Amino acid sequence: MTTMEKEVDNLEVDAEQENYVPPAQKSVSEIIAADAEDESLNSKHEVLKERAQFHQEKETKTFLLNKSRLEKFSCQHIDLEKEQLLGEAKLGQVIVDASDPRNVLVKSITLVVDGRPDITMQLDKDHLNDAVFTIKEGAAYRIRFDFHVQREICTGLKYKQKVTRHSITVDRDTFMVGSYAPKMELQSYTTPLDEAPSGIQSYKNVIWVASLCRRTRITKMLLY
């Protein structure tokens, strides 16, 4: 291309740029108003709106259905728990020992240690002097309580234990036992796995104080 031809092309481009008229500037409100008058755009908006409303109604129905099912399940669960908690009390007041005004009658305490027979202490007047446990230092053990519940439901039972030697506390624990309904049969609770005190010389007496439902039992624990 010659120099003359290049100059002609540049003149034509400059002429086009000079003749270019930019579109009129519109405000946001004017653009929205124009969209409102566009039938095809309005039609698309209506379709999208209907779809959104359909999905919203579907989600609402699903939510209400799930809520109804959850409420029904909760009511059934509450009724079942209530029935289990009431137990024999539904048929009338349960009396195990009419001469005893207490609602919880602890009958025995059992020392449970793996690999050896259980040791049970009967909590009556004839066996009060037999309240001695023998256990190896550091041995893992559990304590099981056997008890009756009479007259009323007993809620919030707690078991507290404290182990002392020479008036010094070497161990202390509190366990939530739970709630129990009146029954003629013995009921039981077993503590989580615990460890006997260690670091004390062999054959040293330790005093073990156990309390269940405000009844305290003082027992000797022989460590070896």
pLDDT for 219 equals: 44
Asked if residues 208 and 172 have their Cβ atoms less than 8 Å apart, the reply is no
Q: What is the 3-state secondary structure (H, E, C) of 16-64?
A: HHHHCCCCCCCCHHHHHHHHHHCHHHHHHHHHHHHHHHHHHHHHHHHHH
146 vs 17, more confident: 146
Whether 108 and 136 share a structural domain: yes
Where in the sequence is the domain holding 58, given as residue range(s)?
A: 29-86
Q: Are residues 156 and 46 in the same domain?
A: no
Is pLDDT at 101 greater than 70 in this prediction? Answer: yes
Amino acid in position 217 = R
Q: Per residue in 201-210, pLDDT tens?
A: 433 455 555 5
Coil/strand/helix, residue 206: strand
At 71 the pLDDT is 61
172-205 pLDDT tens trace:
778 888 888 888 889 888 888 888 766 644 334 5
Whether residue 130 is found in the same domain as residue 81: no
Residue 155 and residue 210 in contact, taking contact as beta carbons nearer than 8 Å: no
Distances (CA, A) of 143 to 14, 66, 117, 119, 127: 102, 44, 13, 10, 18
Q: Do 120 and 73 fall within a single domain? A: no
Name the token pair of 2.
Answer: 């010659």
Cα distances (angstroms) measured from residue 169 to each of 30, 97, 173, 209? 85, 36, 11, 10
Structure confidence at residue 143 (pLDDT): 85
pTM (2 decimals)? Answer: 0.52
Whole-number Å distance between alpha carbons of 142 and 120: 12
Percent of the chain with pLDDT over 70: 45
94 lies in a domain? no
Letter for the amino acid at 194?
D
Of 140, 131, 130, which is closest to residue 191 (Cα–Cα)?
A: 140
Q: Is residue 134 part of a domain?
A: yes
Q: Is residue 170 part of a domain?
A: yes
Given a cut of 70, whether residue 73 has pLDDT beyond it is no
Domain CATH number, residue 135 = 2.70.50.30
Statement: residue 17 has pLDDT above 60: no
> What pLDDT shows up at residue 208?
52
| Residue bearing the bigger pLDDT, 220 or 183 | 183
Question: What per-residue confidence (pLDDT) applies to 137?
Answer: 75
User: Please, which residues have CB within 8 angstroms of residue 172's CB and are 6 or more apart in sequence?
Assistant: 160, 161, 162, 163
Are 198 and 138 spatial neighbours (Cβ–Cβ below 8 Å)?
Answer: yes
Query: If pLDDT is split at 50, 70 and 90, which confidence band does 129 have?
Result: low
Residue 24 belongs to a domain: no
Whether the pLDDT of residue 97 is over 60: the answer is yes
Q: 82 and 121, same structural domain?
A: no
Least confident of 107-116, 124-133, 155-164, 180-189: 124-133
Q: What residues contact residue 121 under an 8 Å CB cut-off, 6+ apart?
A: 108, 109, 110, 127, 130, 131, 133, 219
The pLDDT assigned to 41 comes to 59
Q: What is the dihedral of CA 93, 96, 97, 103, to 10 degrees?
A: -70
Q: Residues 34, 67: one domain?
A: yes
Q: Given a cut of 80, is residue 39 above it in pLDDT?
A: no
